[in-house]
A and B are shown apart, each in its own frame.
Chain A
Amino acid sequence: MAATAGGVEAAPAEVAPRVEARGVGLRAGLVTVAFLVAAVAVGLAVGPVHVGLGSILRSALSYVPFLDVHQPLGAVDHAVLWQLRAPRVALAALVGGMLAVAGASYQGVFRNPLCDPYLLGVAGGAGLGATLAIVYASAAATGSTWTVPLAAFAGAIAAVVVTYALGRSVGASHMTGALVLAGVTMATFTAAVQTFVQQQHTQQLQNVYAWLLGGFSTATWHDVAICAPYIAVSSLVLVLHRRVLDVLSLGDDEAASLGIDVGRARLAIVVAATLGTAAAVSVSGLIAFVGIIVPHTIRLLVSTSYRAVVPLSLLAGAGFLVLTDVVARTVLSPAELPIGVVTAFLGAPFFAIVLRTSRTLR
């Protein structure tokens, strides 16, 4: 094993090169955390009912035991803050972080900068599941909080399982390309069925449409609780795989020759990203472009190494969607703009920029 020892004596006493992976870095980490904190503060403070930042802080601290801080808010303000805005901010943060980190991971696994978390049919499957639930179970009318998210989640998972089986049938050596094509096939098919069902039940068109465009206007702590465990586990798995994603960027052969079981690593990453995305989509509807805008902004501003892109996407994605949601609910206030419209409006030009610079962004 001493085969490479011969290099040592040749080294003169000069300034040692800085040999380390860049990773997140202190400054980028602090700036991103500050961005998220600021976004949450804006999300909690902005709205038709004015609640000052000081009161928000004191109100939050009043829940910490032994601190003896008085609850400064009246009953109405308190309800607006903790029952309307806070769950909305929390849900937007969870969903935004998840979509961004899943997008970054998909881009790494498939080595394609334009991949998004909906690549393998998650969106189509969830859309079909939710549509079926809204139309046939009249879930929206009966007001069950479980039916639509569950149906969307089940639809998303079913679609991805079929996509994966279809992609796998081509054989391991062409797996990545086959998976992408299978995902397109699945998305097209589910969209066709979904549109058909929707056209058969035009009286539910509004409900279906509202769900498809996504949003947090009905967010409750209940929604937060049902998606949080999935999102927490999925994003933890993805963050732990950040170095593996860098190794995978060398291509399947080289990653394998470095001792990585490429098939298993890819499966672990795809499963985590998909599960988290399905959970996010089931409570928020289809919010496009977050998984592309956020990771690419990190790449442009910080580093293309997944050691930076994955954890920073999680934080920045959370802050981004909280702010986007603020825009969606204030621009036309008291009416609300679907958040998917806002992200798409920001995303489309961004997509074009990425496309033009994608040669250097891989």
Chain B
Amino acid sequence: MIETRDLWVRFGPVAAVRGLSLRAEAGGWTALIGPNGAGKTSALRALAGLAAYEGEVLIDGRDARKLGRRATARLAAFVPQKPETPPALTVAEYVLLGRTPHISYLGGEGRRDREAATQALRRLELERFAERPLGSLSGGELQRAVLARALAQEAPVLLLDEPTTALDLGRQQLVLELVDELRRDGLTVVTTMHDLTLAGQYAERLVLLNEGSVVAEGTAAEVLSAPNVAAHYGANVRVVDDDGRVFVLPVRDR
């Protein structure tokens, strides 16, 4: 479970996030949506302890500030929009780096770390690729390796920044299905997302941000109304509600 109370993220005089209060339950999927510059990524980075913030971030009820960097990393794994994947590193080596918060600063991996990495590889069906260099993987395989690295962290909270950027339609669904499986294992998932239709189908809770503040939150049916999308994205859309499944379709207005 991860929670924020009156969270502010500032870049000099500009506040990217303004007083965000958010609660993501264990085993749930919360998607932060909103137009470009709404503060989605800044909020997520604050949750991961990567951006300086005012207010509180609570992970499993504990103040992230007091936890410190390593303890926070044991509770929340973060995957950036474009993860760095050194091409010559093998998949196993890369996934083992996910164990860093469990290893002392100058230490090396132990048996327990190798087991956790092996489990993560199995969970994402990457055993066959363990000894392959990252540079030889396809885009979809690479995305799975990145998730495996986050999984090896054994953190109960998974923070993903735009997990489907640069993937084709099929692979977007594949990755989101994978994340959903991990959620069903009990992980708390928080993602930022651009695609509103996909966000509505996978996350059971949407938080619509604009100019750093929450302007709507709830289920897809509650948040993804045509007036909401028009007002905050400046987009002309038709929203189709097919028995609780919401489709947001862009419509050219002339």
Contacts and interface: CB of A to CB of B under 8 A. Distances in A.
Are A and B part of the same complex? yes
A260 B209 CA distance: 30
A4 B120 contact: yes
B96 interface: yes
Given A5-B185, A7-B122, A260-B69, A244 B153 contact: no
Interface in B100-122: 100-101, 103, 105-109, 114, 116-122
A261 B182 CA distance: 28
A11 B122 contact: yes
B185 A4 contact: yes
Nearest to A173: B11
A249 interface: yes
Contacts of A8: 119
A230 to B, nearest CB: 20
B151 to A, nearest CB: 6
Given A257-B77, A258-B73, A19 B92 contact: yes
Contact of B70 (A247, A249, A259): A259
Contacts of B185: 3-7
A259 B90 contact: no
Interface residues of A, number: 44
Nearest to B183: A3
A243 interface: yes
B86 A10 contact: no
Nearest to A17: B130
Given A21-B93, A257-B49, A258-B153, A7 B130 contact: no
B243 interface: no
Interface string A221-255: 00000000000000000001101101101110111
Interface in B36-67: 45, 48-50
A304 interface: yes
B40 to A, nearest CB: 16
Interface residues of A, dominant DSSP: loop
Contact of A2 (B74, B96, B106, B186): B186
A64 interface: no
B29 interface: no
Interface string A124-161: 00000000000000000000000000000000000000
B84 interface: yes
B80 interface: yes
Nearest to B125: A10
A217 to B, nearest CB: 39
Residue from A7, A261, A362 with most neighbouring chain B CB atoms (10 Å): A7
Contacts of A246: 89, 93, 97
A240 B103 CA distance: 13
B135 interface: yes
Interface string B77-95: 1101001101111101101
A304 B80 contact: no
B232 interface: no
Nearest to A20: B114
A50 interface: no
A206 interface: no
Contact of A247 (B50, B97, B154): B97
A22 interface: yes
Given A7-B119, A257-B50, A1 B156 contact: yes
B87 A360 contact: yes
B105 A244 contact: yes
Interface of B: 45, 48-50, 69-74, 77-78, 80, 83-84, 86-90, 92-93, 95-98, 100-101, 103, 105-109, 114, 116-123, 127-128, 130-131, 135, 151, 153-156, 182, 184-187
13 contacts: A6-B185, A7-B122, A7-B185, A18-B131, A244-B105, A247-B97, A249-B86, A250-B83, A259-B70, A259-B71, A304-B88, A360-B87, A362-B87
